[in-house]
Structure 1
Amino acid sequence: MRINCPNCGERDRREFYYQGDALALDRPGEDAGLVAWDDYLHNRDNSAGEVRDLWFHEAGCRAWLVVDRNTVTHAVHSTTLAEKVKS
């Protein structure tokens, strides 16, 4: 799989560190109960198809990227610097 870094151009996925679901950035509040925090920390969807992930360009510019891709075909549809993505 190849990822197009907005800063460095197209690179092999081995230059990047996969962090997980970009939508998981919505952390529970400090006053959320243990069930909410347990779910946030340990439970992930294992969906096939279109996903939005958070990747770190570890072997390059060290930027955080939001990558829209398909887990079945491995097609990368878009990459955006995470700092430019509105929550």
Structure 2
Amino acid sequence: MIFKQPKYIPLVLLRKYTKLKLSKFYLRSCPINLLMTNIQLKVYNGKDFVILPLFKNMINFKVGEFVLTRVRNEYKKKRKKKRKK
């Protein structure tokens, strides 16, 4: 049996972040509510803060779904050796 946590938003945080336009946010598991739209949050991804603008199509998703926590690994391309003749 899988336990699913209820969707909640702490009221203290909701009152605080609706007043501010750009504020630091640590709770990535918090769902985005209709009242949280049209603001920008600085969401902590484990290393630094990433600016995340909230729109209406992000409602009912969690904040952490839009912030990457891992660095994408890109390999260097092999260069062909050019011989001068």
What TM-score comes out, normalization by structure 2 length? 0.19
What TM-score comes out, normalization by structure 1 length? 0.19
Instruction: Find the structure with the greater CA-based Rg.
Output: 2
Larger relative CO (CA 8 A, sep 6+): 1 or 2?
A: 1
